[in-house]
Structure 1
Amino acid sequence: MSSLTKQRSVQQDFREKMDEDELLNCMRCGFCLPACPTYIETGKEYYSPRGRIALMKAVRDGMIDAYEEVEHTLNVCLGCRACEPVCPAGVKYGHLLEEARHIFEQHKARSLPVKAVRKTVFEGLFPHQSRMQAATSLVGFYQRSGLQKVARKIGFLKLFPKMMAEMEKILPDVPKKKEMKGRRRHFPPIGEKKATVAFFAGCLMDTLFLKTNENTIRLLQLAGCEVVVPENQGCCGALHGHSGEKEKAKELAKRNIEAFEQTDADHIVLNAGGCGGYLVDYDHLLKDEKDWRERAKRFKNKVKDMTEILVELEFHKNVPLHLPGQILTYQDSCHLRNVMGVHDAPRKLLQAIEGAAFVELEGADKCCGSAGIYNILQPEMANQILDHKMEKVKMTNACTIVTTNPGCLMQMKMGIERHGLSGTMRAVHIADLLMEASVEKGNMGLQ
Structure 2
Amino acid sequence: ETSTIEAFTKYKNKVDPNGHFNKGKLMAGSGLENAYTPSFGLLEQESIIMEQSAIGEIADSISDCLRCGKCKPVCTTHVPRANLLYSPRNKILGTSLLIEAFLYEEQTRRGISLKHFDEFNDVADHCTVCHKCLNPCPVDIDFGDVSVAMRNFLREQGKKQFNPGTALGMAFLNAKDPATIKLMRTFMVTIGYRAQNFAHKLAKKFHLLKDKIRPPATVGKPEIKAQIIHFINRPMPKKMPTKTSRALLGIEDNSMIPVIRNPKKVTEDSEAVFYFPGCGSERLFSNVGLATQAMLYEVGAITVLPPGYLCCGYPQTSAGNHDKGQQITTDNRVLFHRVANTLNYLDIKTVIVSCGTCMDQLQKYEFEKIFPGCRLLDIHEYLMEKDMKLAGITGTKYMYHDPCHSPMKTYKPMEVTNKLMGQDVQLNDRCCGESGTFAVARPDIASQVKMRKQEELEKGMGKMGLTVGNPEEKVKILTSCPSCLQGLARYGEDTGIEADYIVVEMAKHILGDNWMQEYVERVNNGGIEKVLL
For 1:38, the equivalent position in structure 2 comes to: 77
Q: Which amino acid aligns with 2:324?
A: K
8 Å CA contact 2:275, 2:305 repeated in 1:
yes
Which region of structure 1 is more displaced relative to structure 2, 84-93 or 404-413?
A: 84-93
Q: Secondary structure at the match of 1:80?
A: coil
Structure 1 residue 245 displacement after superposition: 1.3
Which of 318, 331, 338 is equivalent to 2:401? 331
Q: Secondary structure at the match of 2:145?
A: helix
Which of 169, 174, 198 is equivalent to 2:274? 198
Pairing 1:122-137 to 2, within 5 Å after superposition: 122=170, 126-130=174-178, 131-137=180-186
CA distance in 1, matches of 2:197, 2:502: 33
Pairing 1:142-221 to 2, within 5 Å after superposition: 142=191, 161-165=228-232, 169-176=236-243, 179-180=247-248, 182-183=250-251, 185-188=258-261, 190=265, 195-221=271-297
CA distance in 1, matches of 2:146, 2:197: 47
Q: Does 1:106 align with 2:106?
A: no
Q: Secondary structure at the match of 1:86?
A: coil
Which of 483, 486, 503 is equivalent to 1:410? 486
Q: Which amino acid aligns with 1:250?
A: Q
CA distance in 2, matches of 1:297, 1:15: 35
8 Å CA contact 2:165, 2:441 repeated in 1:
no
The verdict on how the C-alpha distance between 1:44 and 1:390 changes in structure 2, with shifts beyond 3 A counting, is closer
8 Å CA contact 2:276, 2:305 repeated in 1:
yes
For 1:370, the equivalent position in structure 2 comes to: 434
The verdict on how the C-alpha distance between 1:303 and 1:17 changes in structure 2, with shifts beyond 3 A counting, is farther
Q: Secondary structure at the match of 1:197?
A: strand
CA distance in 1, matches of 2:380, 2:273: 13
Q: CA-to-partner distance for each residue in 1:123-159, whole Å, 9 max, x for gaps?
A: 5763325222332134676599xx8799689969999
CA distance in 1, matches of 2:318, 2:63: 23
Which of 434, 438, 446 is equivalent to 2:506? 434
8 Å CA contact 2:230, 2:443 repeated in 1:
yes
For 2:54, the equivalent position in structure 1 comes to: 14
Q: Which amino acid aligns with 2:437?
A: I
CA distance in 2, matches of 1:411, 1:150: 14
Unmatched 5+ stretches in structure 1: 1-6, 284-293
For 1:274, the equivalent position in structure 2 comes to: 357
8 Å CA contact 2:277, 2:353 repeated in 1:
yes
Q: Does 1:237 align with 2:313?
A: yes
Which one has the largest radius of gyration?
2
For 1:48, the equivalent position in structure 2 comes to: 87
8 Å CA contact 1:172, 1:208 repeated in 2:
no
CA distance in 1, matches of 2:395, 2:204: 37
8 Å CA contact 1:196, 1:227 repeated in 2:
yes
TM-score (norm 2): 0.65
Q: CA-to-partner distance for each residue in 1:214-250, whole Å, 9 max, x for gaps?
A: 1011222334432110114511222221221111111
CA distance in 2, matches of 1:221, 1:202: 19
8 Å CA contact 1:198, 1:260 repeated in 2:
no
Q: Secondary structure at the match of 1:161?
A: helix
The verdict on how the C-alpha distance between 1:110 and 1:374 changes in structure 2, with shifts beyond 3 A counting, is closer
Structure 1 residue 312 displacement after superposition: 3.1
Which of 432, 436, 444 is equivalent to 1:380? 444
Q: Which amino acid aligns with 2:400?
A: Y
Q: CA-to-partner distance for each residue in 1:272-330, whole Å, 9 max, x for gaps?
A: 223323333x46xxxxxxxxxx67987998433222222233333xxx54533321001
The verdict on how the C-alpha distance between 1:149 and 1:275 changes in structure 2, with shifts beyond 3 A counting, is closer
8 Å CA contact 2:489, 2:498 repeated in 1:
yes
Structure 1 residue 31 displacement after superposition: 2.7
Q: Secondary structure at the match of 2:377?
A: strand
CA distance in 2, matches of 1:119, 1:140: 15
CA distance in 1, matches of 2:88, 2:249: 43
CA distance in 1, matches of 2:148, 2:199: 39
For 1:353, the equivalent position in structure 2 comes to: 421
Structure 1 residue 426 displacement after superposition: 0.6
Q: Secondary structure at the match of 2:283?
A: coil
Q: Secondary structure at the match of 2:395?
A: strand
Q: Secondary structure at the match of 1:402?
A: strand
For 2:135, the equivalent position in structure 1 comes to: 85
Unmatched 5+ stretches in structure 2: 1-46, 106-115, 206-224, 252-256, 341-346, 465-474, 524-533
Q: CA-to-partner distance for each residue in 1:201-222, whole Å, 9 max, x for gaps?
A: 2224212211211101122233
Of all paired residues, the percent bearing the same amino acid is 19
The verdict on how the C-alpha distance between 1:60 and 1:164 changes in structure 2, with shifts beyond 3 A counting, is closer
Q: Which amino acid aligns with 1:349?
A: T
8 Å CA contact 1:33, 1:48 repeated in 2:
yes
Q: Secondary structure at the match of 2:510?
A: helix
Question: How many matched pairs?
Answer: 412
For 2:118, the equivalent position in structure 1 comes to: 68
The verdict on how the C-alpha distance between 1:82 and 1:194 changes in structure 2, with shifts beyond 3 A counting, is farther
CA distance in 2, matches of 1:400, 1:410: 14
> Aligned-pair RMSD on alpha carbons?
4.2
Q: Which amino acid aligns with 1:434?
A: M
CA distance in 1, matches of 2:501, 2:67: 37
Which region of structure 1 is more displaced relative to structure 2, 177-186 or 88-97?
A: 177-186
